[in-house]
Amino acid sequence: MKITIITVGKIKEKFYRDAIDEYAKRLSKYCKFEIKASEEDTLTQNLTSWVKENLQKDQIDADIEEASEELLYFLRTEKMKEMITQKFLNLDAAFLDSFIDDIYPEIFG
């Protein structure tokens, strides 16, 4: 028997790595055990590069009318989501929201 654990991105927390190592050690007598990390970091890097090259403040604000700062934030983030999902299909919604929250200050300062 073979057991494979697939994680999104590298496991950074030491207590998780320690727990997985202990679990793997116990299971190794009975089966083959392997851990695979998906390429979330690569996706984040590619997405960041694309956004910095292709999404400019003026371009995002082009179709947005005057609004309060709070409403402006929501309109801008929705526009950014729309533009990003046209290029990067099937992105997880939570991942995309988190990414936009991180990159927003870089674009709109």
> What's the pLDDT tens digit per position in 7-27?
766 777 889 889 888 988 888
Helix or strand or coil: residue 36? strand
What digits encode the pLDDT tens for the residues 60-80?
998 888 888 889 999 999 999
Place of tokens 């083959």: 32
Phi, psi of 48 (to 5 degrees): -60, -45
Nearest to 47 by CA among 89, 2, 15, 3: 89
Q: Which residues, 6+ apart, have CB-to-CB distance to 83 below 8 Å?
A: 54, 55, 60
For the question of whether the overall pTM of this predicted structure is more than 0.75, the answer is: no
